[in-house]
Structure 1
């Protein structure tokens, strides 16, 4: 049976082609690779010089392809066949990530499904799992490493424990080539030499000495004297530098003011979530033509219905329903009536979504996160309350999964209930076309039907719209539908 050649350290090892196929089933075009690696046994004996660290160039570059996540590598140095673990892409918008913490240490054995490290993405902190079994030989990017591009190697995995020592000084060059020895210092020394020579030449150079006449002139120029006095002194061969002026002395200078004390401050490093949030909101404000519509909604009926429903929830050990849960349900129902607001802009078309997925803004210690309540129009108030509380807890623990925050079609931001903000305008969450800003409830004195006065509870909401997608009349229609659901909340549970 034909065999393929493999270099492991300074050893020559033979692996059957069937074994290689079973170990690397994910490699495309493996048959073609085998054809290049197959040797007759008598021919293989002629290549025992590979034991000295030399390998046929025809095989060194074609053994395995590089993968975006990991790749098998074999180089012309003495390192063994190994797997480079690259920074994965864990969200659609992720271009770089941070290493929050390594769960495995160098030398640890790993198996498929083992958590290698925690990756901080633009949305959350996620766990990265091992894809194959082996030993973690080298960690290339340690705890706290920041702004690592997707695909850049962060660790090395080998098959046997004996091969770990070979990767003690392993490095990956900027161009992606691997190296098992530290870079040479000759180039650095050559760069320093010209600098030293230039420094010496500059230090040896001195300013040209001025003639005595020029020195005298420059010295006389520093004496404060009128042209007439200078002329008389010159006629009498008197040096002005040795004379004391008879005029009024120059007034003493005021003492210099104390410098203004600098401000005390602390620089707080931006997290990955904060940077991505800043980029997306800046993009939104610069590229989306916002406009804003505000209405006041009467919520007395909603508060009364909420009180009754919460009594039933407590009796059945269910979670309490908040005003925000009513807002989410009303927004979802209004999107079914006015689907133009459940859309996003593209240069050649406007995409109108059939699913109503409401993104809910949640403030956490890690930054602003926006998990998604899916198919909110098809869920009851109790189910929405359960989803919101579960997602909010996961967001505050920074444990959201990509499925928890992807696919939103409309956003609700509530600063009224938790913070008492009366009214505000929110920035659209791209690529969505609308976001609803919800203010707090407050009692107002209003006229009753008999011409007298009474008090009623109101809540202000402001709809921010992308004018490329939603015209003013469409936005007003949506707000009208939302207002009708809020002021007659029984329609939300029918």
Structure 2
């Protein structure tokens, strides 16, 4: 396992106090900030922003000025020490073996220190690294230098076509180069989300059933709890999503085959409901799991779901709860965005995921021959046909609908 080094908030040679924000880092599940656990001078930094760091690897050394850091340096790390930062740059052959810089031999004959990440970015964006002054240790070019150069670099000229453009061709249809797009690096979390979604669709037989449930009971309960919360008689502001989650948990208890993991040649049947909640964050989609959700009351469930969502958005959620294996079933709610129907993607190895849609007035027969517009909530169940047959999935979705329409708390 590994993480991606983020921004350093202290520089080599700078004094550090216990509790100071030292650096940030990003795993495949979330971003975190690390505080200094000791006081002293930041003597060396072994990895810079954008580097991939194996777990249990030293990333820096804090100590007293003049102390050696060689014994702490990982074998493959690029070492930036306080002593070297103060010395004039020497010849490459005089650099100690523990200091391994990436040196690019430019066509101009100039030797340029540049990180692997920055080098790849320069190749993709066409930035001339010989014109860049690096801001990293000992003048090393790092990712932020390439980003800054890309913003100020002159735009390539647009070639003049030999054949005239047809009069009826709109300006928006003409492809331009240089000023109509911007190339940006993908974050580690985005890469992991992309890979997980692709693997999910590649390695399972997914299809989605859509159904609508009468939402009058939901809206009545929502109004009741909202008034009680305003009056101070309950401590939790129960939402529509909380009510749907509560109803779904009850349905899962009746249809345990949907509360499973599909593991190719075997199935894992859960005795408890570990509910995954899809949360939209600034860093991307996260799905923290609420363990033993079936043990909670409605207000308890509401509180725990709110806490999980807050922690996911702030980056403080327990990474173990973000593992797909941590949840037995997931709910993704896009109702707040007005989505009437969608196809959620299963968080493998889970067997199914429920998409919750917006509430829309639709005609319904309320008694024989009498029709009226009734608020209906859309439900979209994606399931792995390798694990569940269509009949099983349909009956489970119908049970979710029944629980929503007859919810009693």
TM-score for the superposition, normalised by structure 1: 0.59
Aligned to 2:251: 334
Within 5 Å, which residues of 2 pair with 1:83-232? Answer: 94-102=1-9, 106=13, 108=15, 116-128=22-34, 136-142=42-48, 144-158=49-63, 161-164=64-67, 166-167=68-69, 173-174=75-76, 184=93
C-alpha separation between the residues in 1 aligned to 2:175 and 2:343?
A: 39
Aligned to 2:397: 479
The DSSP-based 3-state class of the residue aligned with 2:337 is coil
| 1:329, distance to aligned residue in structure 2 (A) | 0.8
Structure 1 residue 448 corresponds to structure 2 residue 366: yes
| 1:146, distance to aligned residue in structure 2 (A) | 3.6
Aligned to 1:409: 328
Q: CA RMSD for the aligned pairs?
A: 3.5
C-alpha separation between the residues in 1 aligned to 2:271 and 2:13?
A: 49
Aligned to 2:407: 489
Structure 1 residue 278 corresponds to structure 2 residue 194: yes
Cα 1:450–1:146 change in 2 (3 A) is same
The DSSP-based 3-state class of the residue aligned with 2:180 is coil
The DSSP-based 3-state class of the residue aligned with 2:59 is strand
Within 5 Å, which residues of 2 pair with 1:220-259? Answer: 257=164
Q: What is the CA deviation profile of residues 344-393 of structure 1, one whole-angstrom value per residue up to 9, with x for unaligned ones?
A: 12244211122211111111221111122222222122122222222222
C-alpha separation between the residues in 2 aligned to 1:338 and 1:121?
A: 35
C-alpha separation between the residues in 1 aligned to 2:300 and 2:318?
A: 20
Give 5+ residue unaligned stretches, structure 2.
85-89, 96-103, 110-160, 166-173
Aligned to 2:150: none
Q: What is the CA deviation profile of residues 441-472 of structure 1, one whole-angstrom value per residue up to 9, with x for unaligned ones?
A: 11112233242322211112111111222222
Q: What is the CA deviation profile of residues 251-296 of structure 1, one whole-angstrom value per residue up to 9, with x for unaligned ones?
A: xxx9654896326112232112111111111110111111222221
C-alpha separation between the residues in 1 aligned to 2:213 and 2:331?
A: 16
The DSSP-based 3-state class of the residue aligned with 2:93 is coil
Q: Answer whether contact 1:140 1:154 (CA < 8 A) is retained.
A: yes
Within 5 Å, which residues of 2 pair with 1:287-306? Answer: 287-306=203-222
Q: What is the CA deviation profile of residues 396-449 of structure 1, one whole-angstrom value per residue up to 9, with x for unaligned ones?
A: 223323255342111111112x11000011110122111101111111122332
The DSSP-based 3-state class of the residue aligned with 1:382 is helix
| 1:177, distance to aligned residue in structure 2 (A) | 11
Q: Answer whether contact 1:361 1:412 (CA < 8 A) is retained.
A: yes
Cα 1:362–1:299 change in 2 (3 A) is same
Cα 1:484–1:123 change in 2 (3 A) is same
Cα 1:281–1:114 change in 2 (3 A) is same
Aligned to 1:203: none
Q: Answer whether contact 2:44 2:79 (CA < 8 A) is retained.
A: no
Cα 1:302–1:171 change in 2 (3 A) is closer
Bigger mean CA offset, 320-329 vs 378-387: 378-387
| 1:140, distance to aligned residue in structure 2 (A) | 1.7
Structure 1 residue 320 corresponds to structure 2 residue 276: no
Aligned to 2:268: 351
The DSSP-based 3-state class of the residue aligned with 2:28 is coil
The DSSP-based 3-state class of the residue aligned with 1:276 is helix
Q: Answer whether contact 1:101 1:119 (CA < 8 A) is retained.
A: no
| 1:321, distance to aligned residue in structure 2 (A) | 1.5
Aligned to 1:375: 292
C-alpha separation between the residues in 1 aligned to 2:393 and 2:320?
A: 29
Q: Answer whether contact 1:110 1:136 (CA < 8 A) is retained.
A: no
C-alpha separation between the residues in 2 aligned to 1:131 and 1:471?
A: 54
Q: Answer whether contact 1:424 1:437 (CA < 8 A) is retained.
A: yes
| Greater length-normalized contact order (CA 8 Å, ≥ 6 residues apart) | 2
The DSSP-based 3-state class of the residue aligned with 1:385 is helix
Aligned to 1:216: none
TM-score for the superposition, normalised by structure 2: 0.70
C-alpha separation between the residues in 2 aligned to 1:408 and 1:300?
A: 30
Cα 1:452–1:467 change in 2 (3 A) is closer
| 1:330, distance to aligned residue in structure 2 (A) | 1.2
